[in-house]
Every structure is written in structure tokens, then in C-alpha cells.
Amino acid sequence: MNNLPHPQDLPGHGGNTASFSSEASSNSGLPGLSPGLTGNTLFDGNNGGNSTSPKDGHVDPEKHDPMASRIEGGVEYKSMVWWQAGMVMVAETISLGILSLPRAMADLGIVPGLILLVCLGAMASYTGFVIGQFKMHHPHIHSFACAGEVLFGKWGGRILGWGQFAFYVFIMGSHILTFSIMMNAITGHGACTILWMVLGTILSLLFTLPRTLKHLSYYSIASFISIIGAVMITMVGVSITKPGMVNGALVVRFWPRPGLSFHAGFNAVSNMVFAYAGHVAFFTFISELRNPRDFPKALAFLQCSDISMYIITAVVVYYYAGNNVSSPALDSASTVVKKIAYGIAIPTIVIAGVVNAHVGVKFLYVKLLHKRQDDLMHQKGWASYRIWLLMVSLSWFGAWLIAEAVPVFGDLLSLTSALFASWFTFGLSGMFWMNMNNVREWRKWTLGKRILFLVNVMNIIFALLLFGVGTWASVYSMVRNGTTTRPFSCANNAGGH
């Protein structure tokens, strides 16, 4: 216990010493908790965070890390090592987003597209690091709902909490929609699209039943191999057939296509943002690490993987598929290659949605149960598991409704990106930085800190722009596409049919 760091001693801490002091004084009498260490079990990477859990069950649920068990032999959520967290983060992030990038590149052109992919990747890397810092300053945080309460109070926590959950459900809906596109492509529309969506929903629900992310980390390895294999086969396939060849030559644009409408261009940008939109689950991932200080390793693994894969996939597929490249990108290959690629992509189509579903349901599960003195969320009996099962089932039912209501892949991604990824990936991270640094003392700041202040202000402004304009652009596109693509339709939604 004595080797645990006090929050005031953490590097870069600023402006929040008073809150930690008050926590220490108010909880110093709790059994098993040393003064000033309330909730800091998170920093002990050797014992999984349970050494400070009081055995008599008396604990302040507002300050206690909800992932740390207070009962003997309970479900151990804090069980991942950094590479497992990295695999789960890759599975969550590198999935559907990568399939929309070649189409976005075709709209924006290679030069603006590459600049955006690199800049958005750098921004996402930095904002992810800030989320990790904020978690270290406030160890009890396990979701954006908790972070929202730190920033804005109880109502802020409620708004961000339900906004976060809605984001997960929209992403889950995107995976159900992609599953139906995949099945239509493989079977040649062998059944009604609604049936394929129901099948995808049931399959995803079954994989969401385990309650710990450690179990999902093993699925995530299959998801990572799956998306790499599917993209590689697509790149090889289009490089052989060259569907973008015109009059014997490949034609690509280095700048935006002529006549590109504002809403179409902004939707392309939103789809690129969506490709980096894994941050909404970062607090939960850190909370289930054995040693949360290893989070930067997992983040580096994720960002090196996604930036490199996004650039290679977007450029290569667009170069060979041409200006009429499809979204999802797998539809750009020949019929045989497309079926093979979709078949290999099944694990990532399912598992990436499952990871988001797991984190979304975990938010509801913790919110409902973590204040109970009997620590029901860590119990292994039917009483706790049936609550998990009910939440999983209702969440996937909501995702199915969204997939049926917005049946156009690109439109659903851009709407999700504008409504949610704008804030959870960029805007809120800027606010976290402001909270950790006393802006009123800016005259004492170094030049580097002032530059970081401007960077975080830009993140907030970018989020506002993406939220406002992006939502309008995606809704406008949905209205236009609604004249040809109907909700709750049996029609074939696979490209190239």
C-alpha cells in the first residue's frame, strides 16, 4: 500500500489538488483505505486493484473504482495486460471505418485525403493520450458518464452517459447493416435483407454474453487478422482486375472531384473521422487493465496500426478501383473476390460490433449495480448474469432498429461520426485538458503549455464544426438517398448487384 502514488505527486498534475485533499479527509476513516488514497487501487498494477477493497463492504461508491471487486472469488474485471487491451482497441477501431476510406479518398482526392488521414490520426493519438491522463487524475472514472460528472456535475454525467450509450448502439447498428451487406454479397441475395439483419443481431448478441474484456481480447485477435486478410485480398483483387481503368489507363484524382457538393465532401470527412472514433471506450479499457499505466503502450499499438492501415488501404484500393470505388470498399472487387473477402471479414464485422456492445452494456451494468453493498456486479450467480443478459438483448434490439431505419452504409457512418465521434474523440478531450490545467494561471505557463492550450481549443472548435455541419450534411444525404433506399426493406443492399 505504501508504494502507491498520491494523486498530487502524479506528473503534470495541476489545479485539482483541493479535490483530492477533500476526498482523503472525508474517507480517511474507511476500513482498508489509507488517507489520500481513495480510489487509487487503480495505480497498483501488481494486485489487480483489490488490495484496498474493504472486506466489510462499507465503501463510498462515488470514489471507489467500480471494476475492483469487494468480495472474495468474484468476477475479476481488472484482468487485461497491455497487449490484450491493444488488441481489443484495434478490434473496436479498425473495422467498418476502414471500409469507407477509399470512397472518401475518391471524393476528396489523394492529396487532401492523405493530409486528413495523417492529421486526424495525429489528433486522435493526442486526444487518446489526454484521456489516459484524465483517468490517472480521477481513478474512479470508468466511462464518459463519470468524466462528464467531473466536468459538468450530475446532469453533465447523465447527458454524456446516455450520449455515450447511444453512440455504441449506432455503431452496433452499423455492424448489423454491414453483416446484411456481407450476407447478400456472399449468397447473391439468397434471402430477405431483414432476415440477414436478424441473423447478424442474434450472432452478435451471443458473442456479447461474456462479462469481461479479457475474454473479448482473444476474439479480437481473430478480428484483427480478419480485417487485414479481407483488405489485403481486396487490394490484390482490384490490382488484378483494375476496375478503375479507363481507355487503358488508371485515372485517379489528386484533388477533389469536379462538382463535389458541400454535403458530400463533408460526409467524406466525417467518414474519415469515424475511422478513428474508438475513444468512447478508452475509459473502460483502462479500467480493466491490471496496470493502467500501461495504457500508452496499448494506445501506441492502436495508432501505429490504424494510421498505417488506413493510408495503405485508402490509396491502393482507390488507385485501382478508380473514381467509382464502392463503400464498403470490399464491394469494389470482382464477384468472386468480393465473396472471399466478405467471408474472411465475418469475424471483424461481428466482433468489432461486439466490443462496442460490451462496453456500452458495461456502462449500464456498472451504473445500475456498482452502488449496491452486496457488490452484485462481481457475483457469478444467475441473479447478476440475468441482468447482463437482459441489457445485452435490449441493446442489440435497439441497434437492429437503427440498422433498419438508416439502411445506407455511408450515411449511417457519417451521421454517427457527426453526432458522437466529434465530441468523444476530439471535443471532450480538449475539455479534459482544460480541467487538468488551471487556465486562470496561463501567465505562468511555458511556451509548450500555451501551444497545448491552442491545440486543445482547436479540438473543441473542430468538434463543434463537425457536430453542426456534419449532422446537417448526413441528414441531407439520408433524405436524398431515402427516395431510392427504403427502411425495413427486403431489397438487396450489396454493391455491384
Cβ partners under 8 Å of residue 375, min gap 6: 57, 69, 70, 71, 74
| pTM reported for the whole predicted model | 0.77
Q: Per the domain annotation, does 86 fall within a domain?
A: yes
* pLDDT score for 65: 64
Does any domain span residue 158? yes
**Residue 170: CATH number of its domain:** 1.10.4160.10
For the chain, what is the domain count?
1
Residue 254: closest CA among 105, 98, 104, 101: 105
Whether 291 is in a domain gets the answer: yes
Domain assignment present for residue 273? The answer is yes
* Full 3-state SS string of the chain: CCCCCCHHHCCCCCCCHHHHHHHHHHHCCCCCCCCCCCCHHHHCCCCCCCCCCCCCCCCCCCCCCCCCCCCCCCCCCCCECHHHHHHHHHHHHCCHHHHHHHHHHHHHCHHHHHHHHHHHHHHHHHHHHHHHHHHHHCCCCCCHHHHHHHHHCHHHHHHHHHHHHHHHHHHHHHHHHHHHHHHHHHHCCCCCHHHHHHHHHHHHHHHCCCCCHHHHHHHHHHHHHHHHHHHHHHHHHHHHHCCCEECCEECCCCCCCCCCCHHHHHHHHHHHHHHCCCHHHHHHHHHCECCHHHHHHHHHHHHHHHHHHHHHHHHHHHHHHCCCCCCCHHHHCCHHHHHHHHHHHHHHHHHHHHHHHHHHHHHHHHHHHCCCCCCHHHCCCHHHHHHHHHHHHHHHHHHHHHHHHCCCHHHHHHHHHHHHHHHHHHHHHHHHHHHHCCHHHHHHCCHHHHHHHHHHHHHHHHHHHHHHHHHHHHHHHHHHHCCCCCCCCCCCCCCCC
- Which segments in the chain show pLDDT lower than 50? 1-62, 497
At residue 439, the pLDDT reads: 83
The per-residue pLDDT for 199 is 95
Residue 150: per-residue pLDDT: 93
The answer as to whether 38 is a domain residue is no
Determine the pLDDT at residue 495: 65
Give residue 465's pLDDT. Answer: 93
User: 55 lies in a domain?
Assistant: no
Which domain range does residue 250 map to?
82-481
1 within domain boundaries = no
Q: According to the model, what pLDDT value does residue 293 have? A: 92
Question: Considering the domain boundaries, does residue 46 fall inside one?
Answer: no
Structure confidence at residue 496 (pLDDT): 54
Contacts of 123 (CB under 8 A, 6+ apart): 276, 426, 459, 462
